[in-house]
Every structure is written in C-alpha cells, then in structure tokens.
Structure 1
Amino acid sequence: MDLPSLAAVLQAALSPNPEERKAAEESLNQFQYTPQHLVRLLQIVVNANLDLAVRQVASINFKNFVAKNWSPNEPGEPQKISTSDKDVVRDNILTFITQVPPLLRVQLGECLKTIIQADYPEQWPGLLHWIKRNLQMQDQQVYGALYVLRILSRKYEFKSDEERTPVYLIVEETFPYLLSIFNKLIQIVNPPLEVADLIKLICKIFWSSIYLEVPKQLFDPTIFNAWMVLFLNILERGVPAEGQPSDPELRKSWGWWKVKKWTVHILNRLYTRFGDTKLQKPESKAFAQMFQKNYAGKILECHLRLLNIVRTGEYLPDRVINLILQYLSSSISRNSMYQLLLPQLDILLFEIIFPLMCFNDNDQKLWNEDPHEYVRKGYDIIEDLYSPRTAAMDFVSELVRKRGKGNLQKFIQFIVEIFRRYDEASPEFKPYRQKDGALLAIGALCDKLKQTEPYKSELERMLVQHVFPEFGSHVGHLRAKAAWVAGQYSHINFSDQNNFHRALHCVVAGLRDLELPVRVDSVFALRLFVEACRDLNEIRPILPQLLDEFFKLMNEVENEDLVFTLETIVDKFGEEMAPYAIGLCQNLSAAFWKCIQTSEADDEGDDPGALAAVGCLRAISTILESVSRLPHLFVQIEPTLLPIMKRMLTTDGQDVFEEVLEIVSYMTFFSPTISLEMWSLWPLMMEALGDWAIDFFENILVPLDNYISRGTSHFLTCKDPDYQQNLWNALSAIMSDRNMEDGDIEPAPKLIEVVFQNCKGQVDQWVEPYLRITIDRLRRTEKLYLKCLLVQVIADVLYYNPSLSLVTLQKLGVATEVFNLWFQMLQQVKKNGKHVHFRREHDKKVCCLGLTSLMVLSVDQLPGEALARVCKATLELLVLYKDQVAESQKKDDGNDDDMDGFQTDEEDDDDDDDQVGFKSWNMDSHLIS
C-alpha cells in the first residue's frame, strides 16, 4: 500500500460510518506485515501537511504495532519486522521526536521506549553517540536529546548489579553536558516555561540514574557539589508569578511546580539512601559522610523555608508539602538533624503541621459537591501516599514515638486547649475545623496514648467529654470524625460499660445518617466495636437492621473496607448467621456483579470496584465457613453463586481466581452431594490449569480433591466429559514438562494419590501410566519434598493393588531401583538425628500402608529377603509414627489452641508448608478403611 492509499485508509478509520471504519481497520490489519508498512506509518505521523487527526491515528497504529511486534515474545519466534525497516525507524524516529506536536510525541515516545528496551545497547550502539552530539547543539536538538536520554535512563532505573552497568557509561558520556546545560538554564533571567520543561527532563534523568545507586562518577566531591548547588538553587528560588494557572488542578501540573517537585524528590531520595552512614556499604560510606556533613542540614533548612509559605497562606502543591514532611519525619530520629529542627519545632508543629490536619475548604467543597469522591479519597491508599494530611499525621506520630519526652505532653496540651476553646465558644464561633483536626490527631496517636500514662487513664473521660457529644453535631464532618475516633478507642477497658454501649449505639445510629461520609465512617467504626464487643447481646437484637443498612450502603459505595465489617460480623456470630446466610450471599453476589461492571467500565484500571469485588468474594467464603455445619444451606445458596463461579473460572476471573476457587472448595466439601451443575465447573478449572493458571495449581487441587473423594462414582462413570482421561491429560503434561520447576508440580502427585486412595479396585488401567510418569519425574527431581510425594504415589499404588503394582514396576524394569531409593530415603537422617524424608504423620502413614500391603503377596512374588527388608522398614516407620503421634498429642494437650489443630513439625521449612485447613490436600480420612 503506497503512502496516499495508506493516508486514505487512516482517514476512513475516522469515519462516522461504522462500515467504513470496519473496512479501514480490516485493510490496516491485512497490510500491517508488508514490507515498509511501518516506515510509511511513521512518514504519515511526521507529515505536517496531513490532517492532525489522521496523523494521530497513524501514530497510535505505529505505537501498537511496535509494542506488539518489535521483538519476538518467545525464543526462536520469527521476526515480524524486517531488519531494513527497523534500521529506517531507528535512524529517523530520534529526529522526528522533536518535529511533531506533543500529542504525537507521546505516542512516538512510547515506541522509543519499546525499541530502547529491546535494542539498546546491542542492536543500537550509536544511540548514546546521537544523544551526546545533540546535547551540544541548539535548543530543539537539545530538547530531543534530553527527551531520548530520559527514556534511556528510565530503562535502568530499577536495575541493579550487572544489569545496571550501562548506566555508568551513560553518566560518564552525558552528565558533563547535562551539568553545563543546567547551569545555563539556571542563569536565564525571567525564564520562559520551556526552560522549566528542559530542567524537568534533566531532573528526571538524574532521578533515574541515582534511584537505586549513585553512579561512581558522582562520588567525586567537586562534581557532586556542582549538581547540589543547582538543586539547592532550584529549591530556594521562588517560582515565577506570571503564567501560573488559577485552576488548582492545572496549577499543580504547571512546569515550574513540577521542577520544584522533582528537585525535592531527588533530594529526599539522596537523603533516605545516604542520610544514615551506619547503613552504607563500605564503598559508599565516605560519600554518605560527605552528604550528611555538607548537604543534609542545608536541605532541611531549605525545606523549612519553603514550607513556611504554607503558614502565610501562599500556594505550595500538595505533593511538594508531602515530600518535605517526609524528609522532616526522616530527620527526627537523627540527632544532628533533630537539633536543626528543634528551634522551629513549635512553629512547624502548631502553625504548619496541625493546620494541615484540619478540615479545609477543599474538603468542604468535595463533601458538598461529590460525597462519593470524598469517601473514595479518604480511603484510598494511593491518595494517602501523596496527601499532606497523611504526611502531617505521620510526622506527629514519628515525633511522639522517637522524641516523645516533652513533645507528647506539649502536643496534647495544645489539643486540650482547642477542646477547651471549642467548648467555651458559642455555636456561631466554635472552631469546628480545628476540632476536626484535634480529633484526627487524637485518633492518629491512639496507639501511643493507650500505652502512656497519664493519658491512658484519661482516655474514657476524653471520649465522653470531647468525642461523644459530636455524634449529635449539626456539622457532618464532626459526626464522621466522632465515629472514626470512637472506633480507634473501642478496645480500651471502659470502667463504665455504659460508655461502651453509648458509643456503639451512636455508631449504629450513624449508619442511618443523611450524610454519606458519616455512614461510611460509622460502618468502619462498627467493625472495631464488633471486634471489641464482649457481650454480643448488645448487637444481636439489631442484627437484621444492621445488615439492611449495611447493604444499602454497599449499593452506594464500592469499597473493600465495607466488606471487612461484614466479615467481622459473620465471623463473630458464626452459625447464628444461618437465617441470614442466603440473603447475605444474594446481596454480596449482587454487589460483586456491580463492582465487576464498574471495574470493566474503568479504562484506567484503578477503580476501587476491583478491590471491593475481591472483598465480596472473601465475605462469601466467610459466610460459607460460618454455616459449614449446616449442609442443607449450601444447596439453597448454590444457584446464587453458580453464575459467579462459572464466569470467574475463565480468563475473566484472573484477578479473583483464588477467591473463587475457595468458594468452589467450600461448595464441593460441605454440600450434601456435588450437583451436576457444580460438576460443570471441572472442565473450566482444567482448561485454566492447562492454559494460564499453573500458579494456582495448589488452589485448584483442593476442589479437584473434593470432586474425586466426595463424587467418586460420578468421577468414575461419567464419559462425557471423561473426567479420568481429562485428569490424566493434565497431570501427564505437567509431570513431563521439563521447563516446570519442581515446586510448581507438587500438587500433581497429590492428585494422583487422591485417585488411588478413593477408587480402590476401579482404576486398574491407570496403574501403569501413572507409575510411568511418576518414576520418570522421580529420576530427575532434586527437591526433597517432591521426591517424598512421588514415592508416596508409589506407596499409594501399592496399597491400591500390591500385586498389579509390583508386576507393573517389574515390567517397567524399575522395581529394584524404586525400592532401593525408598529404603535409602527412609534411613537418611540429619546430624541432629531427625529424618530427612517423610517427616509428617501423613507421609509415614502412607509409606506404612504401601509397605504393609506387600506382606500379603506370595513368596514367588516377593522373595523372603525382600520381605525381610520390607518388614524391617515398616516396623521402624511404625515406631516413628507412634512417637510422632504421641508428641503431637502432648503438644495439643499443652496448648489446646495451637494452630487450631494443624499438624506441625519442628524445623519445618518451605518444603513442608502444604498443610492448610480442611480445604487443603488432607487425605488421612481416605486412608482409613
């Protein structure tokens, strides 16, 4: 397709006519792999005579094709882009980056990122030379070089050790020029916004280069000082007043504030990496000492001056405030830095930090105009990372934790004074926002105050006097804060239980508040009160109403923390939840589908609905656990959960696969029988296992065990689908896969054991195939635990049919080899006398059953000498088993609640962590016959 034709097709891709768009897309797909197609797309992107929309479509097609096809996904896969086309793209894209508008530059930048990741330095050795040459030229070329260097440096940002080696050459070749450019830019009087863009790129390049390790070239004090002078200059100088956007969202993204943010970011990173000389490697110690001596204090002083503009009401972006407070928090524990902080600590604490903790105009605006967004921001972990308020709370917490003497008393006196002024003021003059900040501070310091006298003894009185009254406040944010603070202190020992009851009832009443944020904070507080509640009679009478209010709120807000409260209630009331179980599962299922729809509609993929969906499934599991002794309920719940299980066991459910498998495990274990509808899930799990879900094999094992052990007849007799053949196909593929690690296939031998333990006398045809793949894997297995599992498969097959199994082993020519290995493993001990293999009671039991089954064979099948070895090994095993059972019983008697009945072995390591609850592979019951 020539250039004009391609441009016409791209124009058609923008057509409002769906048929034309579809035809254009098909044409693009048809010609995408033809020679020079990629080059022509790039030519259209840079052709200024064409319509910008057409160029944008070309840039997106170019980006997507490069991302998908520039380098093969698998070793040995043929190249889809010719070498000549790649050369043309590499030779031209660097120049084109600076010639296109920002809208298109973003797309080309993404392409460049892909190409650099794949080709530098091996296939693109000239890239660094191009950057170096262009750094010495005029403005446009310098910008292009910085833009490309930023992408190149980012490739190594998180690389360590030998993977990081190319960084040293990049720094050596380019940093002298960067320093020179930076110096010139700093000296420009009344610099335009374009200068900020250039400085920002230099900052980002520096950040990526020092993120994990400072390159050795910067260890030179003269060179490092030259950089630090520039960064401190940026930190201290004010940003230009002209040109600042009035819109707060645009303002924080304005170029000069971005420069300020990246400068603070870099200085913080250097401080956290090199602020403590004790933590340094020997080769970095001298540099760390130099940094601590010459720069850490200067940065602190600059930060304090910058932060002071907040005190005077001037603008400072939230992220900059957050980063500065992080630096100050890190300085508290270091004596020299704390001494610098001390003279200004009161001003910092009471005139800057505390006001940041108070409810403000932005909060009120969001509360009034978008309460859902107010709630989301308040409970979003990512928002917390960048929030000045969170950083302020962290500073106060760190201060009273590391420098509590004097500071805690001083801060609490300040809070008490706010409480006093609030109480004494008439309603129209009450400092409501300061009271909100004071309550936030009290809640944030709860751990410290609960442990420290005299505050510990006064907490109940403080709640009664200063928190409880706000439950009835006409100010919504104070009602919400009262609920939150009450929840933080719900676990204290109330001298008057009426105060606990009063707080609980106020929190419950908050579930019906007219303001959404109050209802949400009340639900979260309720969880803490339920955990702390010693007498469930306080909650039992109102449980139905609680659940109603709870689900009303879930219909309004998607938040996983909401589900935590429900889980806590279900866990606390156990079987008492039975009357509500069906309704709860129906409500949670409806909430789950709503969360999924929200998540699918969210293009950015960061919607809280995804987390809330996981929470809904986890809560369903908690409900199923609570009614596990009422199997009839599972039959009634199944129709509600089946659609979720069916869809989420496909690729649609990859994000919730583990949670769905847990639900399937409950349903197949506790239902009176496994229904045909539940059996329809088997093929979905096996398809997932063979395709993409090998990492979930241990989780898939659990329901498969339940299907075979509880639905044995259907497993054996059904031929459409043929479950036996289906299982064999999956297990043989996994066991014979030489690329699969030993640890990844451990569930496979466990499943083979399930078959032979549950299907005695009915699967003779599978004895030889399963023995063959077991022995093949045993011969090349290195991991001790997997070796034990594979030998236990042989023991199980012997127990299943000793005569047939022995004949099969002899037919395969491995009988002597297998028994010699088995006896050797049984005898192997560590220096401390403990056995290396078969350490669990279950392992010993399986081996005993396998060996004792041989004793019934005739002499011509098992000669006397072999029988003697078998008897000796069995007796030794039985003694070990008996001793271990006695030891376990002794431990259980000594600690009734130890591990909730889990078996444990001393010196357990990662090889032995396969025992998990009823849902785990735990088949001792199958061995009792």
Structure 2
Amino acid sequence: MDNLEQLVTTLRSAASQQSADIKPAVQALTDNEDKFGFHFALLKVALSSGLNLETHVRWLAVLYLKNGIERHWRMHGPSPLTEEEKNSIRNEILSSFDEEVNQIALQFAVIVSKIARYDYPKNWPHLLHILLTAIESMQVLSTKQRDNTVLLTFRYVVKELSTKRLPNDRKLFSQISCSSYPCIIATFDRFHKTVVEMLSSSTGDSNTLLHAIEKLLHILKSLKCISPALDSTTNCNFINEVLTMLKTFLGLTTSHSFKDQLVLDKCHKVLLVYSKILLDTFVVEDNKVANFVPEIVNMCKQCIFLFAENRALFPERFVVNCMNVIKLLVGPNEGQKDCSVSMDDMQDLLKGLVFSFLPLTAADLENWEEDVEEFCSEEIGETWKYNLRPSAEVLFLTLLHRSPERFVPVILATLDTVNQNSQKDVLQDHQGVNSVLLNDAVFAAVGLAANELFDELDFEMWFLTYLSPYVQKCVTTPCGKILHRRVLWLIEQWMGVKPPNEARTAMYDFIISSMDSNLNMAVRLAASSALRQILDDFEFDLDTFAPFQEKCTDSLYKLLQDSQTGDSKMRVLHVLSFVIERLGSRVVSCAHKLAEILPAIWQVSEAHNMLRCAVLTTLTNVVVGLKEQSVSFHPFLINVIHTSTDTTSPAHIYLLADGLDLWITVLQNTTDLTDSLMQLFNNIYGLFEFSSESVRACIEIVESYVVLGGCSFISGIHGQKLSAAILSLVTDVRDECLLLVTRLLELTLQVAPAVVPEIFQQYVRDNIQHVLTDETTTILSTARMVLIARLALLNPPAFWNLLQRQTGQQIGNALMALTKIFNDRIDCVIETEPRKAVAMASLSILDQYAESEPVRHSLPQIMCLCVQVLHDVCDESGSDTVLVTSNPEAPLVFNEWDNFHFMRVRTLLNAGPTHTVSLQTFVKQKLEILSDIHGGADNLQTMLTAVVDAQVLQELQNFL
C-alpha cells in the first residue's frame, strides 16, 4: 500500500460491520502481505495511539502484524521479510511498552516473543538486557501501565524460549535463566513483601494493590518458566523461598477479610501459580528437593482440610493442584520421596478424602435435580488433573496402592461402622440425608478399592445380605435414589474384579428392575452401565439370562425412548448393542421394537454423528442376530449404509468405518442380490479413491458381491467398472493392498473362470509379467503365482491366450520358466489346497507337450513338483485329503457362528477341481495323454526313466 492513510482506510473497512466492505479490504491486506514495508507499516499503525485512531483499527493492525510475523519472519519461510524491514520492526517495537490498552499490549508481548524465538541472541542481543533493566528499576506501588507491559513481555519471551527443544537452544535457555534469575527473584521479593504488608495492614487504595498483585503474578509466572532450567542448588533455594512466601500468603488469605472481590480473585490467582510451581518442581526427580517433601505434604494436607471446612477459602483448582502434588510425592515410582511422608499423615489424608471429598455436595444434588442426564454424563481422560472429585479419587487410590496392608483395614472398619449405623431408620429426617451421603461416600471408596479388597470382602454375600435389602428399604425415600445409584455403580466396579457365581441371578433381577421407568433417570442409567459390565464376562450363560431377556430388552427400549440428550442415547444404545450381541439369534424376539425405535433415532440425530455411530453398531449386531430375517430391514439399512459411505456427504468422515462394517454384515447375511443392493455398490468406486484406510473393508465388500452375484454380477455393468477401478487403485499402493486385490481376483476367478480373464485382462497380464520377472519370494509374489496357477487350471485356453499376448514368440520359454518358478517356490505356499492347485496347474501345462519343446524339457520338474505335493495331500492310506467326500448337492450345516457368505464361499470352493478331483487321478490322466503321444505305456516308461530322477519316479509309481 502506498501510504499509512490508505492502510488505515483499508483496516477500517476490514473492521467494519458492513459485509460489502470487509471482503475487498481483507483481500487487499492479503495481497500486500509479501510487499516490502507492509509489516512495518502495520506496526506504525498499531503504535499510533497518539493519532486518535480507533482502538479496533489498531487492534486489527496488531493482529495482522502478529500473523504476518508468524508466517514471514523466518529466513526460509514463504516470502520472508528483508533484513532491513526486520531491523526497523525490532527497533520500533520496543516503544510498545508504553501501550495503554491491555488487549493490544498483550498482542505486542506475543509479537516480541515470536521475534525473540527466531532472533535472540544473534540478531537481537540487547532484548533481555533492556527488559531486565526496566524490571529492576520499576517501583512496586507504581500504577503505570508500562511496568505491567514490560513484565508481560518478559514473561512471554521466556515462555517462548523455554519451548525450544534442540540441545543448543536448551543450553541457551539455561544460560538465560541463570543470568536473569538474580534480578527477577530480587524484584519478586520486593513486590511480594510490599503486597503482604498492604494486605496485612489494609493500607493503600485497592487500585494500587491490584496493580501490585498483577505485576507480582507476571513475575511469578516468569519464575515458573525459568526455574526448571536452573541448577540444582539455585532451584532448591528458589523452592525454599517459594515455600516461605506461600505460607505467608496462605496465612493472609485464610485470616484476612477481603472487602474487594477483585483483590481476592487476584490473590487466588497467586496461590494457583504457587501450586503450579510446586507441581512442575517435583515432576523431575531431584534428591536435593526431596528434603522439602514432608513440609510440602503437610502444607498441602492442611490446605485440603481447610478447604473441606470452608470452600470459599481457596479456588478449587488450587486444592486440585495440592492433591496432585501429594499424589506425585507419595506415588509408587518416586523412590526416596516415599519414605519422607509419614503413614499417619497419609492415613489422616485418606480418611479426609473419603468423608470430605467423595460425598455428593449440595451443588451436585442440585445439578442432579436440574439436569439429571448432564449430571450422569461420564467424565473421560485426565479429568483428575483439573476437577476436584476425580482428583480426590485418584489421590485416594494412590495412597491405597502406597500401603494397602495399612489402609485396607481402615476401609473395612469404616464399612462395618456404616453397615451398623444404616440399620437405624433415619432416612426421613435431615440427619438421615447426611447419613446417606456419608454411606454413599464409603461405598464409593469400597468400589474404588475393589482390587485391594478382593480377598478381604465377599461382595456377593454383602450384596445379598445387606446392599439389596438396604436399597429396598430406602427406595421410596427422598434420598433412596442416591444409594440405589451407588449400589449399581458398586456392582459395575466389582464385576470387572470378581464376577458373581451364586448371586448372578439375583444381580440380574436387581439390575433389570432398576431400569424401571418409575425410577429416577440417574438410577436407570447406572443400571444400564452395570448390566453392560455383568454381561461382559467369560462365564456368561445365555440360558441363565433367558428368563430376564424380554424384561431387559423392554427396559432398555423404554430407557432409550426416555433419554433426552444425545450422549445418554448413545450410552444406552451401546448397552443395547452389547445385549443384542450377547443374545445372538435370540434377538428376534425384540426385532420389531428395534425396527420402530432405531429409524426414529437415526432421523433425529442428523447433527449428532457419534449417536449415529452407535446406531450403526447396534444395527450391525441386530443383523448378525437376525441373519436372513434381517432382509425385512433392508429398505432402512441400505439407506443408512448409503448415507454412511457416500464420500460426497460430510457425515461419512464420522460414519464410514461403522457404515462399512454394517454393509459387510448385511451382505454376509442376505440370500439375494437385490436391485437396491446393486445400486448401493456404486459407492464403492468413490471409496476406492477416498482413502487407503478403507480399502480392506471395501475389498471384503466386493468379495461378498462377487460370491453373492456370481457370474451375472461380474459379467454385468459392474464388471468393467470394477476392473477399471482396480487398475486405478493398484497404481500407487503398498504391497499389503496389492495382496488383497490379488486374493480378490483369485476368488473372482473361481466364481467365473470363463469371463474373468477377459474382463480383468490387463491386471492378469500384469501379474503374469510380475511372476515371470520378479525374483523375490514375498507373500505378494506367492499370491500372484497361485493366481496364475488357478487361471491355468480353471481356464487353460484363456491362460494360453494371455501368455501368448504377453510373451509373443517366446511362449515356450515362458512356459518352461513358469514351470521352474512353480517348482522353486512351491514351499512358499503354506496351505495344502493352493499347493495342490499349483501342482495341477503345472500338469495342465503338459497339454502343450506335443507342440512345445520347452514344455518337454520341463517334464522332470513337473514330475518332481507333483510328487512333493502328493506327499502333502495324501494320508497314510494314499487318499487325497483335500477332496470333499460329502455329497456336494447336500446342504451345508449352518452353525450359529456362520453366515450365508461363509456358506457360499465354502460351497464355491468345494465345487472346484482341487476338491472334486484327486491329485492321483489328475496325474494319471495327464500321463495317459503322454502315453498316447509316445506310443504306449512302455515307451512312456522308458522316456520317463531317461529324464526323471529314479527316486522321484519310484515315489510317483507308489502313489499311482
């Protein structure tokens, strides 16, 4: 842009509320990004606070400057800035310390840090000296914005430099930290003492105090960045000073009455940064800081207990960090640090966690009443690092694992007390509510400690004699739902540790009854999770569960209808899907209900793709259970599969994997290739182009279509399109994918040997070329050899024709080379049936014996190969074990775990020559042809004796 006025006008248009002005202005700014002087001009506009420019114009200028530096500052980046413009920016940007607008000052601090990442110290050696000089000279009680901006900039610079990970960069940052530390810690000491004095004496105005605490925060956060790079001795001194000042600050915040909420919030932020420093300190093992462990644990424990009494004293995140610090110090992999914490301290802490942090709070109960499904949403990931109750649970487990022999008796004694006290009928009054909440907390501890209590607590007996009657007694009381939900959660926790034996039926009845629609939604959702856990067991017996099957599916069906949120529906659907999987073929009894509710859920969940994934999983299990009866679902299923696998639809990104599984399952359990299934096949072509991750599933789908549709499918319109798609697919894929395609073509050849060589001619010819020229013995090369062998066996004329086209006048030599390849690589073929196919294919080559001299020279190798394979396929009596002796017309036995696709493949393969013709018979037939050519059996014997090894010939005669 020609001048600053034009740039300001463009920025003003880009920041306007008129859409007609924004687009051309943004385009103009983008077009000027790589022009000399543009970023320096942006800096001049952003710094022009004295020119009465609008704040939003300066704000936009500084944002464009920050993004431009991110993209163009590096020497090897796109359109890099010239050194002249960089120098101008570095010299001018330090005047940003006088920026008065906080948001713009923050962006300037980020910009300086980005430049420092690339240029410090080589091209900007004085940056840190300027910052440290300004920090050293600033006054604590000053309210100048400049001081805040300088500290903010220093903080971002050291934070940015600390993220560099190359060895030289880490060494440099260590030097920076050591040189900066004396100035920063001295400044920190001054600011901290002043803030403490002001808080203690309640002197000075709130504005001055807020500025002082804000600057103290910046200094403390800077120290948090540089302290890990300090040497061990300096770091110990720093931790000692932090502990001293933290105790002082804690004393003030717990005893001081804050009139200004802003001051209290700032003090809480200071405490939070202190706790983060302690967390960072003990992540790395350091024997010198181990001396602080007892003191830190004691201090954190006191903070936790104080917070339990008054939750307004500290921010919740501060207490979470205190718990995480203790977890880090007493954890199992901390060596010497473990020994520094007394067992009494840990025992007091464990009891405090159970009785103060595991019970549900008034806020929890309020959330339960306001939005029960949100209250029941499951927390995942490392929530213990940030949330109070998960953090308390993890610390409880850490303490328990630290010394189970000490703490298990404590838990059991507490449980005995609860069992005795709960016999009193105190559930109607206010005291009863507190009793129920404490019982709930103790039960939570027993569930968390299930692994440690495995040998100490007979959970089945406890459930039968105490838990179940207790729930029945209080189920109609206002607080009964709390204990009911907890007992169901207990079952879920213990099932993975100690599955039931005698109590299994009683638990089935208890869990399924707990899903009754008259009960609270939290109880019903907990029951569904417990059901999922108790069914996921090796000892699960369908006959034992059969009496509860109908009630179970009805209850889940009603719970699914009553669920309002997508997360709850998805959670229940996963349970229902698992139940359907367990029921197997018995799912028929609830099929009509599923047919009613699943389409409805699919329709209303268009914006909730994860819920649709759960629907797809459920449908897959339904189809597996219904088998051929799933055909009645096809109108809905095919529409669902089309939506999930259509690459032109954005939803396929989420639904593709589950949609492909459903597609495969539908094909494997259907009996006819309908027009709607044929139309669905068009999605395959887009999937082949989409991603290699889905190729395996796509090829499995194609196999199902080929076997289901037979020759009519291959010779129809999809045959040529599929051939073109495969040729396009194999141009740039790994051997794993080529192996899948080769095996697909091998199966296709067995389905339609008459038409496949012509339709897939180019791919077959490429495989012939690979077999003849590739000297490797990989799995892929072996698969290609078996494919060519099957072609020679199943369609000899097509084989000769394709070989003739591929090799021309050298077909005889090609046949001899192919025979040698068969003989040399037969040991690479692992399974017996394809070994027999290769042997029969080599015998088929003898059909050219009379016409081809090279084939006659290959006779010894063919006979050697046949004898070798005869040893593999024949049993002790000399019978061919590959033959299918049963009546090929008789229907195959349908096992419960089978599906129609496996039956069709089995029928197809059993009808092939390797399963219907014995290898001995096939050898005899080919030798009879040779006998006719040589004028009789005696002449043939003479010829064989002359060219074939005597031992091979003797073994061949023994087999025949």
- TM-score, normalised to structure 1, is 0.76
Within a 5 Å distance, the mapping from 1:387-426 to structure 2 comes to: 387-424=387-424, 426=426
The SS at the match of 1:147 is helix
- Aligned residue in 2 for 1:443: 447
Residue 205 of structure 2 corresponds to residue 200 of structure 1: no
- Aligned residue in 1 for 2:233: 222
Counterpart CA distance in 1 for 2:93 and 2:615 is 49
The alpha-carbon deviation at position 259 of structure 1 amounts to 0.6
Structure 1 stretch 848-857 or stretch 172-181: which is displaced more? Answer: 848-857
Counterpart CA distance in 2 for 1:245 and 1:679 is 76
- Aligned residue in 2 for 1:764: 757
Structure 1 stretch 429-438 or stretch 751-760: which is displaced more? Answer: 751-760
Greater Rg over alpha carbons, structure: 2
The SS at the match of 1:734 is coil
Counterpart CA distance in 2 for 1:780 and 1:40 is 64
Q: Is the Cα contact below 8 Å between 1:93 and 1:108 reproduced in 2?
A: no
Query: Aligned pair in 2 of structure 1 residues 131, 233: CA closer, same or farther (>3 Å)?
Result: farther
- Aligned residue in 1 for 2:134: 138
Residue 167 of structure 2 corresponds to residue 167 of structure 1: no
What one-letter code is carried by the residue in structure 1 that aligns with 2:455?
A: Q
- The unaligned stretches of length 5 or more in structure 2 are 136-148, 196-211, 885-895, 913-960
Counterpart CA distance in 1 for 2:740 and 2:125 is 53
The alpha-carbon deviation at position 91 of structure 1 amounts to 4.4
Query: Aligned pair in 2 of structure 1 residues 759, 447: CA closer, same or farther (>3 Å)?
Result: same
Counterpart CA distance in 1 for 2:258 and 2:527 is 41
- Aligned residue in 2 for 1:573: 583
Among candidates 493, 497, 510, match of residue 503 of structure 1: 510
The SS at the match of 1:126 is coil
The SS at the match of 1:632 is helix
Counterpart CA distance in 2 for 1:858 and 1:96 is 95
Structure 1, residues 734-792: CA drift from partner, whole Å, max 9, x if none? 24xxxxx5456553444444554444232435434454378569989989444444444
Within a 5 Å distance, the mapping from 1:374-773 to structure 2 comes to: 374-376=375-377, 378-424=378-424, 426=426, 427-428=428-429, 429-430=431-432, 431-453=435-457, 457-475=461-479, 476-489=481-494, 492-493=499-500, 495=502, 499-500=506-507, 502-509=509-516, 511-513=517-519, 515-531=520-536, 534=541, 535-543=544-552, 545-559=554-568, 560-578=570-588, 580-581=590-591, 584=594, 587-588=597-598, 590-591=600-601, 594=604, 597-598=607-608, 611-647=610-646, 650=649, 652-682=651-681, 684-691=683-690, 693-711=691-709, 716-717=714-715, 719=717, 723-735=721-733, 742-743=735-736, 746-765=739-758, 766-772=760-766
- The unaligned stretches of length 5 or more in structure 1 are 157-162, 210-217, 275-287, 599-609, 736-740, 828-836, 890-899, 903-915
- TM-score, normalised to structure 2, is 0.74
The alpha-carbon deviation at position 565 of structure 1 amounts to 0.9
Within a 5 Å distance, the mapping from 1:12-411 to structure 2 comes to: 12-22=13-23, 24=25, 44-48=45-49, 49-58=52-61, 79=78, 87=86, 91=90, 95=94, 99=99, 101=101, 103=103, 126=122, 129=125, 132-139=128-135, 140-156=149-165, 166-178=169-181, 180-188=183-191, 189=193, 190=195, 191-204=212-225, 220-233=231-244, 236-239=247-250, 241=253, 255-270=269-284, 274=285, 289-290=287-288, 292=290, 294-314=291-311, 315-329=313-327, 331=330, 333=332, 337=338, 340-376=341-377, 378-411=378-411
Counterpart CA distance in 2 for 1:923 and 1:51 is 79
The alpha-carbon deviation at position 437 of structure 1 amounts to 0.9
Residue 855 of structure 2 corresponds to residue 863 of structure 1: yes
Structure 1, residues 652-684: CA drift from partner, whole Å, max 9, x if none? 422343222212222333333444544555554
The SS at the match of 1:446 is coil
Counterpart CA distance in 1 for 2:492 and 2:476 is 16
Structure 1 stretch 810-819 or stretch 197-206: which is displaced more? Answer: 810-819
Counterpart CA distance in 2 for 1:640 and 1:854 is 49
- Aligned residue in 2 for 1:810: 807
Query: Aligned pair in 2 of structure 1 residues 838, 417: CA closer, same or farther (>3 Å)?
Result: same
Structure 1, residues 351-374: CA drift from partner, whole Å, max 9, x if none? 244311111133123223343432
Counterpart CA distance in 2 for 1:623 and 1:93 is 70
Structure 1, residues 7-45: CA drift from partner, whole Å, max 9, x if none? 444444455544444555555566666666566555555
The SS at the match of 2:360 is coil
Q: Is the Cα contact below 8 Å between 2:645 and 2:652 reproduced in 1?
A: no
Counterpart CA distance in 2 for 1:676 and 1:115 is 64
Q: Is the Cα contact below 8 Å between 2:42 and 2:62 reproduced in 1?
A: yes
The alpha-carbon deviation at position 438 of structure 1 amounts to 1.7
What one-letter code is carried by the residue in structure 2 that aligns with 1:705?
A: E
The SS at the match of 2:341 is helix
Structure 1, residues 254-306: CA drift from partner, whole Å, max 9, x if none? 53143134213213422xxx3xxxxxxxxxxxxx55555x4555543443344
The alpha-carbon deviation at position 329 of structure 1 amounts to 4.2
Counterpart CA distance in 2 for 1:148 and 1:881 is 76
What one-letter code is carried by the residue in structure 2 that aligns with 1:573?
A: L
Counterpart CA distance in 2 for 1:791 and 1:111 is 63
Query: Aligned pair in 2 of structure 1 residues 339, 696: CA closer, same or farther (>3 Å)?
Result: same
Query: Aligned pair in 2 of structure 1 residues 772, 852: CA closer, same or farther (>3 Å)?
Result: same
Query: Aligned pair in 2 of structure 1 residues 332, 84: CA closer, same or farther (>3 Å)?
Result: closer
The SS at the match of 2:132 is coil
Counterpart CA distance in 1 for 2:287 and 2:729 is 58
The SS at the match of 2:304 is helix
Counterpart CA distance in 1 for 2:161 and 2:91 is 17
Query: Aligned pair in 2 of structure 1 residues 5, 411: CA closer, same or farther (>3 Å)?
Result: same
The SS at the match of 1:508 is coil
The SS at the match of 2:558 is helix
The alpha-carbon deviation at position 597 of structure 1 amounts to 1.4
Identity over aligned pairs, percent: 12
The alpha-carbon deviation at position 595 of structure 1 amounts to 5.0
Count of matched residue positions in the alignment of Structure 1 and Structure 2: 835
Counterpart CA distance in 1 for 2:902 and 2:266 is 51
Query: Aligned pair in 2 of structure 1 residues 114, 173: CA closer, same or farther (>3 Å)?
Result: closer
Q: Is the Cα contact below 8 Å between 1:802 and 1:857 reproduced in 2?
A: no
Structure 1, residues 841-879: CA drift from partner, whole Å, max 9, x if none? 676566556545545444545613334324433543564
Q: Is the Cα contact below 8 Å between 1:372 and 1:557 reproduced in 2?
A: no
- Aligned residue in 1 for 2:146: none
Structure 1 stretch 568-577 or stretch 52-61: which is displaced more? Answer: 52-61
Q: Is the Cα contact below 8 Å between 1:582 and 1:636 reproduced in 2?
A: no
Structure 1 stretch 846-855 or stretch 624-633: which is displaced more? Answer: 846-855
The SS at the match of 1:760 is coil
- Aligned residue in 1 for 2:887: none
Counterpart CA distance in 1 for 2:686 and 2:95 is 47
Counterpart CA distance in 2 for 1:23 and 1:823 is 73
What one-letter code is carried by the residue in structure 2 that aligns with 1:549?
A: K
The alpha-carbon deviation at position 203 of structure 1 amounts to 1.9
Q: Is the Cα contact below 8 Å between 1:460 and 1:494 reproduced in 2?
A: no
Counterpart CA distance in 1 for 2:66 and 2:672 is 54
